[in-house]
Amino acid sequence: MSQKSKEQKSSAKKPKNVRHNYVKNPCEADNPQRLEADSPINEEHTDQIDETGSILTSHKDSVIHCLTIIGQIEGHYILSQQNKTTKYEHVIPLLVSIEEDERIDGLLILINTVGGDVEAGLAIAEVISGMKKPTVSIVLGGGHSIGIPLAVAADKSYIAKSASMTVHPVRTTGLTLGVPQTFEYFQRMQDRITTFVAENSGISKERYNQLVLNTGELVMDIGTILEGGEAVEEGLINEVGTVSDAIEALCAMIKQKKERRYQSCKEAEKG
């Protein structure tokens, strides 16, 4: 066989239209004739891992959007590129799209954050708490400072046994004016956080303020560090658990919602 014939035979064996650097998501249809638009899982969503730290996945006939909130919550000012950040201008539109996408059944939020911009964190937390789709959060590693409102904003919250949460007052960096108005401003901001946490968890405002103003635990600061079980005992988090526990709980909530919707449709048909 000639060299030219060997090359033609070798090239004939190579598949065409191969998508390089792409791992197929198990949720994608096996039928190649199916349009990607018909499935919520495609290459574009897989690429979101690099862009927003989120991905779609399926579990027990449910489509779940998994969102990670990591590092520091970046607000109106851009942080150093050396910092791991979660950008609120990425997360908020993403949450809106999840809420509006009928193909997505629920939202799983993985949290490992040191805190960050107060108003940006509260904005994200408000969007999560206002979603009608089932939401479950789990704190992995740490959910400190403004990460607490983010954790309690979900319908149900979990914390890993080894994770912790630091409750402390609002603080600032840079120059501040030593006038009564400055103190009042920080007090009002702290009240916003306290009110949100109390309304979305099982802890009272009074108890949360006690944890915030604790002077006997942190050497260089005031506040309280709560480990997994302690956060549950205080009423901040619902349960200690793993990612698997969080997924199972989310799927159960999705199933209940589908059953309620089915019953509503049946009653409407009878009426």
Each residue's pLDDT tens digit, 106-127: 999 999 999 999 999 999 999 9
Please give the Cα distance from 14 to 20 (Å, whole number): 13
Averaged pLDDT for residues 146-168: 97
Contacts of 122 (CB under 8 A, 6+ apart): 146, 149, 192, 193, 196
Percent of the chain exceeding pLDDT 70 equals 78
Alpha-carbon span 253 to 155, nearest angstrom: 9
CA pair distance 151, 237, nearest whole angstrom: 8
**122 touches 91 (CB < 8 A):** no
Q: Among 18-22, 178-182, 191-195, 226-230, which stretch is predicted with the lowest mean pLDDT?
A: 18-22
Task: Please report how many Cα atoms fall inside a 13 Å half-sphere around the Cα of residue 230, on the Cβ side.
Answer: 11
Relative to beta strand 106-116, strand 135-143 is parallel
Across the range 12-36, mean pLDDT stands at 44
Instruction: Find all residues with CB under 8 Å of 88, minimum gap 6, and list them.
Output: 73, 74, 75, 117, 120, 121, 123, 124
User: What pLDDT score was predicted for residue 172?
Assistant: 74
- Residue 108 makes CB contacts below 8 A (sequence gap 6+) with 64, 65, 66, 67, 135, 136, 137, 138, 246, 247, 250
Q: Point out which residues pair with 157 in neighbouring strands.
A: 137
- What does pTM read for this prediction? 0.80
Q: Is 65 a catalytic residue?
A: no
Give the confidence band of 3 by pLDDT, cuts at 50, 70, 90: low
User: Hey, which bits of 54-117 come out as E strands?
Assistant: 54-59, 62-74, 85-87, 106-116
* Alpha carbon distance, N-terminus to C-terminus of the chain: 78
Chain-centroid distance of CA 57 in Å reads: 14
Mean pLDDT of the chain: 84
Name the β-bridge partners of 106. Answer: 64
Whether the CB-CB separation of 109 and 154 falls below 8 Å is answered with: yes
Is pLDDT larger for residue 177 or for residue 122?
Answer: 122
- Is 168 catalytic? The answer is yes
Residues 176-196, mean pLDDT to the nearest whole number: 87
- What amino acid occupies position 223? G
Tell me the backbone φ, ψ of residue 218, rounded to 5 degrees.
-90, 135
Among the listed residues 137, 144, 168, 201, the single catalytic one is: 168
* pLDDT exceeds 50 at position 46: no
Tell me whether residue 249 is exposed, middle or buried, using C-beta atoms within 10 angstroms of its C-beta: 0 to 12, 13 to 18, 19 or more. buried
Residue tagged active-site, from 54, 145, 157, 201: 145
Residues in contact with 159: Cβ distance below 8 Å, sequence separation at least 6, in sequence order: 138, 139, 143, 151, 165, 228, 231, 232, 237, 239, 240, 241
Asked if 77 and 120 touch (Cβ cutoff 8 Å), the reply is no
Residue 59 vs residues 107, 169, 217, 218: alpha-carbon distances, Å: 12, 39, 42, 42
Confidence (pLDDT) at 183: 83
